Structure 1
Amino acid sequence: MLRLLPLIALTGLLISAAPTKKVTLFNGKDLTGWKIYGTEKWYVDGGELICESGPDKQYGYLATEAPYKNFDLSLQFKQEANGNSGVFFRSSIEGTKISGWQVEVAPKDHDTGGIYESYGRGWLEQIPPEKETILKPGEWNTLRIRVEGDHVQTFLNKQPMVDMHDAKIGAANGSIALQIHDGGGIKVRWRKLVLKEI
């Protein structure tokens, strides 16, 4: 005899089977969905998103117009010149002052994949020396950032870098933002920025 599940149970099954929403943050053509902060250079070339120091040699940010709280973000970057940059999450920006948390993107031996809190506690998690060999200078690298509640995980070229919990992060919300560090001489290429909302 065939047993029929109650409607509530069926509804629960449908909800749990719903796919996560995938968002392509960069369309490969222009900066639709993003906002520039500061005077540094952000442009598209050959389907890639380029950030480059401008004549002011100051901090610059390119932030999503939409906020993202819980997500799994994957992107690729290639460092040219200095390559000191980063990916902020749950951030807010006024002028060129940013509040939030940065997943570091930097030259070798400078903690790429680590977590830094700007205008706050500073480094929350740095990278141990044995993991500094995971970065491929001058080549395409894949960075994955997963943030759910107070839990943050980062992966560089499929290798785990950070796995931490933080109550302050858990209480926050805000945009994704790419950074140009101050000092000049910086150029980084980005592509394949795909986010899955959790």
Structure 2
Amino acid sequence: MIPNSKILLAALCMLIHFGAFGQRKSLFNGKDLTGWTIHGTEKWYVENGELVCESGPDKQYGYLSTNETYKDFELTVHFKQEADGNSGVFIRSDIEGVKISGWQVEVAPPAHNTGGIYESYGRGWLIQPEPEKDKYLKVGEWNTMKIRAVGNEVTTWLNGKKMVHLSDEKIGAAKGFIALQIHDGGGIKVRWKDLTIKEL
């Protein structure tokens, strides 16, 4: 028979475990960039409770990464594209300077594979949505992107519609930060809000 103290300890451990991994938490406080790190010279700022990324004078790649790293999770973000809008959400990633290694879920203008998965400085496009799914993107309006990464499996949804599902051992072996991207070329502005994550 297990002593009461051991039962209580086991119960406490379970509560801690599920409390840490079963709760959804916000990645953006709506006030400032606490919990994030800027990479590059492009613009990242908060306006009206929204996180804004905008091309700077250098017109190069720029990234805003979480200070924490994540492995298995369900991430939800809301975005609205202004100007060109070419951006993306990196998962399980790492960076040196502005050279990022990891996997990007694309956020782009129409007909440019929003919701697809691209491996930066690696194999390139791993999977793209079927062309007919492009209709789910709301240009100039708020969109909801959900990304679920568990082991080798990554699934993306746009406005409640499944975009792609990928099984990949290289992704499965990785752990890293989440990052938002500004693509090079200039003329880019994307707004973000309600960035939340639930570890699985």
Q: TM-score, normalised by structure 2?
A: 0.91
Q: 1:190 is matched with which residue: 188, 192, 198?
A: 192
2:161 aligned with 1:159: yes
Q: 1:134 is matched with which residue: 129, 133, 136?
A: 136
The number of equivalent residue pairs is: 192
CA RMSD of aligned residues (A): 1.9
Match for residue 121 of structure 2?
119
Q: Secondary structure at the match of 2:136?
A: coil
Counterpart Cα distance in 1 of 2:150 and 2:23 = 15
Counterpart Cα distance in 2 of 1:31 and 1:197 = 21
Match for residue 15 of structure 1?
14
Seq. identity, %: 66
Match for residue 72 of structure 1?
74
- 2:173 counterpart letter in structure 1: A
- 1:102 counterpart letter in structure 2: Q
Give ranges in structure 1 of 5+ residues lacking alignment. 1-5
CA deviation after TM superposition for structure 1 residue 156, in Å: 0.2
CA deviation after TM superposition for structure 1 residue 18, in Å: 3.1
Q: 1:107 is matched with which residue: 86, 106, 109?
A: 109
Counterpart Cα distance in 2 of 1:138 and 1:151 = 30
Moved >2 Å (runs of 4+): 14-19
Q: TM-score, normalised by structure 1?
A: 0.92
Q: 1:53 is matched with which residue: 45, 52, 55?
A: 55
Match for residue 40 of structure 2?
38
CA deviation after TM superposition for structure 1 residue 15, in Å: 3.4
- 1:107 counterpart letter in structure 2: P
CA deviation after TM superposition for structure 1 residue 22, in Å: 2.2
Match for residue 3 of structure 1?
none
Q: Secondary structure at the match of 1:15?
A: helix
CA deviation after TM superposition for structure 1 residue 174, in Å: 0.5
Give ranges in structure 2 of 5+ residues lacking alignment. none
Counterpart Cα distance in 2 of 1:145 and 1:128 = 17
- 1:81 counterpart letter in structure 2: A
Q: Secondary structure at the match of 2:46?
A: strand
- 1:195 counterpart letter in structure 2: I
Q: Deviations over 1:137-176 (max 9, x none)?
A: 0000000000011110100000001111100000011000
Considering fraction of residues, name the structure with more helix.
Answer: 2
Q: Secondary structure at the match of 2:135?
A: coil
Q: Deviations over 1:107-150 (max 9, x none)?
A: 01100000000000000001111101000000000000000111
CA deviation after TM superposition for structure 1 residue 67, in Å: 0.3
